[in-house]
Amino acid sequence: MENKVNPEPYKWKDAYTVNISIIDEQHKKFLEIINELKIIINTNTCKENVSKVFFQIAYLIDHYFLKEEIYFKDCQYPNFEQHKIAHNQFIDRIIQFQKDVENNKENLCFDIYNYLEEWFDEHILKYDVEAVAFLKKSGIS
């Protein structure tokens, strides 16, 4: 059975903004990918578009995870190691999803969508925001 998701795109909210451009940019791009996945799932075009999705996720990992890590490390953020581990777990999960493509796994885009949505709620809105709040409170950033 085909999965469908609520077609309404997620909108950026002011509450998400941390006022550090490399982080805000990354988070906005994340939301864009999630919104694209909504379209892909609802139009049942995962096979045709999944490599484009991976390309966009890889871009985010290469460009933003690293920048965020350098930034947090430079600021001597105390939970830096844990934060980096979480990023690495994300990368491992994406590699796993790529293997699923080779195995023609069903509902793959739906699974990726759920994982990214969870990451947005758990990591981006909680851990990234928490880290920035800590750095601002300590007068570092």
80: its two tokens: 């830096």
Report if residue 23 touches Fe ion, rule: CB under 5 A.
Answer: no
Taking the complex as a whole, how short is the minimal distance between the CB of residue 63 and Fe ion, in angstroms? 13
| Pairwise CA distance, residues 20 & 127, whole Å | 15
Classify the phi-psi angles of 134: left when phi > 0, otherwise alpha if psi is within -120 to 50, otherwise beta: alpha
Report if residue 60 touches Fe ion, rule: CB under 5 A.
Answer: no
Binding string, 78-117, against Fe ion, x = CB under 5 A? Answer: ----------------------------------------
| Pairwise CA distance, residues 60 & 56, whole Å | 6
Taking the complex as a whole, how short is the minimal distance between the CB of residue 22 and Fe ion, in angstroms? 11
| Pairwise CA distance, residues 128 & 110, whole Å | 25
- Residue 55, C-beta contacts closer than 8 angstroms, at least 6 positions apart: none
Of residues 46 and 60, the one with the C-beta less far from Fe ion: 60
Of residues 5 and 75, the one with the C-beta less far from Fe ion: 75
Taking the complex as a whole, how short is the minimal distance between the CB of residue 40 and Fe ion, in angstroms? 25
- The residue written with tokens 């934060």 in the block is 83
Taking the complex as a whole, how short is the minimal distance between the CB of residue 44 and Fe ion, in angstroms? 32
By CB under 5 A, the residues from 120 to 139 that bind Fe ion are 128
Site residues for Fe ion per CB under 5 A = 128
